[in-house]
Amino acid sequence: MMNATENINTWITHLSAKAKMSISVDCVIFGYDEEGLKVLLIDCNMPSYEGKKSLLGDLVEVNETLENAVTRVLQKRTTLTDLYFEEVKSYSDPDRHPLGRVITLAYYSFIKISDYKIHDTEDKHLEWISINEIPDLAFDHQKILEDCYLRLKKKIRTHPIGFSLMPKKFTLMQLQNFYEAVLQIKFDRRNFRRKLNSLDLLIDLEEIQDNVSHRPAKLYSFDFKKYNQLLKSGDLNFAL
């Protein structure tokens, strides 16, 4: 125990080896395709959790930031770079990991499943699982997933993080299906369309769907350029 004035930010002169521990990052990798919202999970073979699935994670190396570690995990598991991700919170129960003291920081990411390629044969125990069919997970990963999903749902209503998961050209119905799948709520079609039009961030491509056995829908793309301008200038209120 330290005396009243010693602490990490004032008087101490060295870091005790005894108080050192392992840090990990755990990533809830959300993915979307026409079937809906899914999460990338891996089989866990650690004693006492055998047969369960877990999130993707790894230990943080001594010379990298947490963000570096997340980038590394995401790249290794999806082969994709420059992915969006966000920190959610820490999990630090001393008994949370059977191998010893491991504090973890939870992050979530969100990708288009069709962009994802199975990386190598050893990754065959990796699987996309529908958000509605998540099994019991190893460690405290159930809680981590819940917390990250809540954050995603909050974030996606105020930030256009979903548009990079759309096809380059999409219909308003595809967009609505996406939001309904992620948020697990239904929108009124007319109100949804009016809302999106009023944002004035969709580009009408003046093209229509082809080879559909019903009235073809107009195609749109998202105006990332305009969005970034509005973001910088500060007068943006994106909300769904």
For residue 125, which amino acid is it? H
Interacting partner of 57 out of a copy of itself, DNA, none (Cβ under 5 to 8 A depending on kind): a copy of itself
Tokens 């010693």, residue? Answer: 6
For residue 32, which amino acid is it? Y
Distance (Å, whole) CA 177 – CA 30: 16
Nearer Cβ to DNA (112/218): 218
Interacting partner of 59 out of a copy of itself, DNA, none (Cβ under 5 to 8 A depending on kind): a copy of itself
Q: Which of 35, 59, 143, 189 binds a copy of itself (CB under 8 A)?
A: 59
**Could you say whether residue 195 binds DNA (CB under 7 A)?**
yes
For residue 109, the tally of other CB atoms under 10 A from its CB is: 25
Distance (Å, whole) CA 152 – CA 145: 10
Q: Which of 15, 211, 215, 234 binds a copy of itself (CB under 8 A)?
A: 15
Is residue 156 within 8 Å of 162, Cβ to Cβ?
yes
Distance (Å, whole) CA 179 – CA 168: 17
Closest distance to DNA from the beta carbon of 223 (Å): 18
Cβ contacts of 40 within 8 Å, gap of 6 or more? 29, 31, 56, 77, 78, 116, 126, 127, 128, 129
Nearer Cβ to a copy of itself (45/197): 45
Q: Which of 125, 143, 186, 194 binds a copy of itself (CB under 8 A)?
A: 125
Q: By the criterion CB under 8 A, which residues form the site for a copy of itself? A: 2-5, 7-16, 18-24, 26, 42-46, 54-67, 73, 76, 87, 89-90, 92-94, 97, 99-103, 105, 119-120, 122-123, 125, 138-139, 141
Q: By the criterion CB under 7 A, which residues form the site for DNA? A: 171-173, 188-191, 193-195, 198, 208, 211-218, 239
